[in-house]
Amino acid sequence: MVRSSLKNCYFFAKVLFGVDRWRRDELVRSSKAAVLNMHRVSPDLSPYWPPMHPALFERLLRYLDKYFEVRNINELSEKQGSRPVAVLSFDDGYYDFIEYALPLLKKYVMRSNMNVIPQCVKTGLPIWNVRLYDFLASSSVEEVKKIEIPGFQFKLTGNGMRDKLGFGMALSKFLKTRARAERLELFQPIEELMNGKRFASTRMMTTGEVRQITEYVDLGAHSFSHESMEFEDDDYFENDVEKCSEFFRSDLDLPMDIYAFPNGSYRPEQIEHLRRKGVSKVLLVGETLANMDSNVIPRITMYGDSDSEMRMRSVGAA
């Protein structure tokens, strides 16, 4: 609680002294854009991965509407006007985008980029770490203590929510740094525990629902199954890109010209492969501002719990 209050005071002081205004001016002078990356917008709380509350999201849109030119991602390289440029970019394809984010985007007449995971769209299941979070949130500490993964050294010794939360975040980080084949093998004991328990799973958009939003978003692929690509070999990555392209052709009747790397994980040669395949926008994480004339676009992850923090993150000054 004390840490949260101090953080809020820190960001409030920055806004009070005009740091966000100075950074907006700098965006215009440097021809940089703020590409803001989000995942979930929902009032439903999650201790492992808190979504942005719709009220906070609307206040962010109101701020952007007042001070920024919010562009489609495909318009990023067009000539800059007098306002700084921002782009809204969503990953994964959660159903709460339709419930909470899209109505507000329509209200403020803002188009966004949505990068979906074809495997999740087809199966209706979220990515493995979100399923893990859903499972852990529904499990007791004693149930979580049954999880044993070779090489994972974190031991859950306490009995509180904070202990369980620390365990889950450490386990997710441990598994993210593995190639898919190794992760699947390590994840098998957890899969067995999950299969033996009923729990609510985070809802993903279906193919039909993805088709319905194409009027309002620029669709991209967030890989086929959300793997950390720096740990995968060339054959795996090239096959992933082809499966994404096939999904866009056969299921959505669209070209796949936007590709967002999962987990901020990639190798430079993978970017070159995407370029050769005709992908016009390659999205990274990077936590930095984007060059408006580049087709390799770093993004700034948007999270927080105050207007001041959202303002500072939106100008890359958090």
Tokens of 101: 């984010």
- Let me know whether 114 and 150 are in one domain: no
- Let me know whether 116 and 78 are in one domain: yes
Residue 201 lies in a domain: no
Instruction: Decide if pLDDT at 203 tops 90.
Output: yes
- Let me know whether 119 and 140 are in one domain: no
How many independent structural domains does the chain possess? 2
Cα(19)–Cα(245) distance, integer angstroms: 42
- Let me know whether 79 and 15 are in one domain: yes
Instruction: Decide if pLDDT at 80 tops 90.
Output: no
Which residues are bridge partners to 291 per DSSP? 32
DSSP tag of 204: B
Instruction: Decide if pLDDT at 110 tops 70.
Output: yes
Q: Could you tell me if 193 and 149 are in contact, meaning their C-beta atoms sit under 8 angstroms apart? A: no
Which residues, 6+ apart, have CB-to-CB distance to 64 below 8 Å? 70, 86, 88, 108, 110, 314
Q: For 146-189, how does the pLDDT look when each residue is reduced to its tens digit (9 = 90+)?
A: 888 888 988 888 888 888 889 989 999 999 999 999 999 999 98
Cα(269)–Cα(276) distance, integer angstroms: 11
DSSP tag of 203: -
Cα(148)–Cα(182) distance, integer angstroms: 15
Q: Determine the structural domain holding residue 136 and report its residue range.
A: 128-195
Residue 202 lies in a domain: no
Q: For 218-248, how does the pLDDT look when each residue is reduced to its tens digit (9 = 90+)?
A: 999 999 999 999 999 999 999 999 999 999 9
Instruction: Report, as an integer, the average pLDDT of 122-142.
Output: 92
Residue ending a domain, among 142, 168, 195, is 195
pLDDT band at 79 (very low <50, low <70, confident <90, very high): confident
- Let me know whether 169 and 216 are in one domain: no
More confident residue, 49 or 296: 296
Which residues are bridge partners to 41 per DSSP? 52
Tokens of 54: 């719709």
Which residues are bridge partners to 32 per DSSP? 291
Residue ending a domain, among 143, 175, 195, is 195
pTM above 0.95, yes or no: no
Is 167 exposed, middle or buried, given 0-12, 13-18 or 19+ CB atoms closer than 10 A?
buried
Q: Could you tell me if 258 and 220 are in contact, meaning their C-beta atoms sit under 8 angstroms apart? A: yes
